[in-house]
Amino acid sequence: MLIVQKYGGTSMGDPDRIRNVARRALLARKAGHDVVVVVSAMSGETNRLLKLTSEIARRPSQREQDVVVSTGEQVTVGLLALAIQELKGKSRSFLGHQVRILTDSAFANARIRSIDDTNLRASLRKKEIAVVAGFQGIDEQGSITTLGRGGSDTTAVALAAALKADACEIYTDVDGVYTTDPRICDRARKLDRVSYEEMLELASLGSKVLQIRSVEFAMKYKVPLWVKSSFTDDPGTLVTEEDKAMENVLVSGIAVTRDESRFVIRNVPDKPGIAARVFGALADADIVVDVIVQTPAHEDARTDMAFTVGRLDTEKTRELVRKIGKQIGAGKVEHEEGIAKVSIVGVGMRNHAGVAARMFQVLADEGVNIRVISTSEIKISCLIDEKYAELAVRALHTAFALDRTETKKG
């Protein structure tokens, strides 16, 4: 088998932990597998480097920022290769430009275009454990690029796809994907399997186990993805293609995102191009918009447009939207902070009516008022007052039969 393993910053946090990762990689190698290991920077290092750049420049050029922050992974690949060699294993480190992970030139948020597997294959043939720097690539001009927060997950999955790996194992500090955040709901249950689609919704909805782009990549190339803990021997969660058994489960998980602000623009003229104008302006200002809901137009050909942004962007958004509101002849702009988004996710809900109704009933029974509703094929999201977020998660977790039955380990 060819296995790609990825270890995050916590797993690489100090020399002892790096030795632990070396031992795990060697176990797989000794079991006869070809092993490629992708690593993140030591925990805290990327932030330390970003702080340095922000001390020098108020708005650092992202090309140069990438030069600086990509050193975090350069240090850990070297250290892990050394740790493996110290345990009598063969190993060789690879930077993005040495593998040749070619990306576009969107510095700080680049996308992988192609991966050359020649050098890695040569290393594997020599029975080396190939240690690859996550998060980084190189563009056509030879400049160093980075893939955005959590980008090492994407590096791992992309390598697994390029090498047609039998498994991609993402090691983290939790032992798998849970039905919901265990810190909120102590009856949260670890999932043995979850579909790519569900994982995608869970990832995008605030479950920070995997970078969303890595899940998209895994889905596209059908890479079997394992989420495991680097500190236990738990088999973890397999993220894979949907199967029949999954469809029998209505809801696989519950995600929650807090600290959002909700905006409503009243009486927006219902004309083509208006939405593009509003959200184009927000995008230009680097404001990430989450839920967008537009109600059907009234008889006066006017509509209400609602959306959410992160709390930190509230002020910037308010100013911008007021200005645009005037330009497009809309009515008043309302906004409200302290909003949470609670979502239920499951491929099973596709074939079952009534899941939405049940969700709304559960929230109503708990006296939780729903501000905005948004749905996709396998997800229903409700914006609610943030103070009810935990209550809502716990009630939904029980109502959709996600509670663990056995007592909690540990």
Q: Contact positions toward a second copy, by CB under 8 A?
A: 15, 18-19, 49, 52-53, 55-58, 60-61, 63-68, 70-71, 74-75, 77-79, 81-83, 85-86, 92-93, 95, 97-98, 119, 142-144
Task: Report which DSSP code applies to 388.
Answer: G
Say which DSSP state 345 is in.
E
Report in angstroms how near the CB of residue 79 gets to a second copy at its nearest. 5
**Identity of the amino acid at 238:** L
Cβ proximity to a second copy, 62 vs 240, nearer residue? 62
DSSP annotation of 238 reads: E
**Paired sense of beta strands 136-138 and 193-195, if any:** unpaired
CB of 133 to a second copy, least distance (A): 9
Helix (H, G, I), strand (E, B) or coil at 351: helix
Dig out the tokens for 46 from the structure: 């990327």
The minimum distance between CB 51 and a second copy, in angstroms, equals 10
Of 62 and 374, nearer to a second copy (C-beta) is 62
CA 11 – CA 171 distance, rounded (Å): 8
**Least gap, CB of 376 to a second copy (angstroms):** 40
CB of 211 to a second copy, least distance (A): 23
CB 146 within 8 A of CB 70: yes
Q: For residues 169 and 158, what is the distance between their CA atoms, to the nearest angstrom? A: 12
Contact 393, 362 (CB under 8 A): no
Beta-carbon contacts of 171 under 8 Å, excluding residues fewer than 6 positions away, are 5, 6, 7, 8, 11, 21, 24, 228, 229, 230
What is the Cα gyration radius of the chain?
23
Closest separation between CB of residue 250 and a second copy, Å?
49
Q: Which is nearer to a second copy, 55 or 406 (CB)?
A: 55
Question: Rounded distance, CA 26 to CA 10, Å?
Answer: 19
Residues 132, 162 contacting (CB under 8 angstroms): no
**Residue closer to a second copy (CB basis): 63 or 311:** 63
CA 5 – CA 169 distance, rounded (Å):
5
Closer residue to a second copy, CB minimum distance, 144 or 340: 144
Task: Supply the minimum distance, in Å, between the C-beta of residue 66 and a second copy.
Answer: 8
Give the residue with the Cβ less far from a second copy, 94 or 171. Answer: 94
Cβ proximity to a second copy: between 73 and 201 the closer is 73
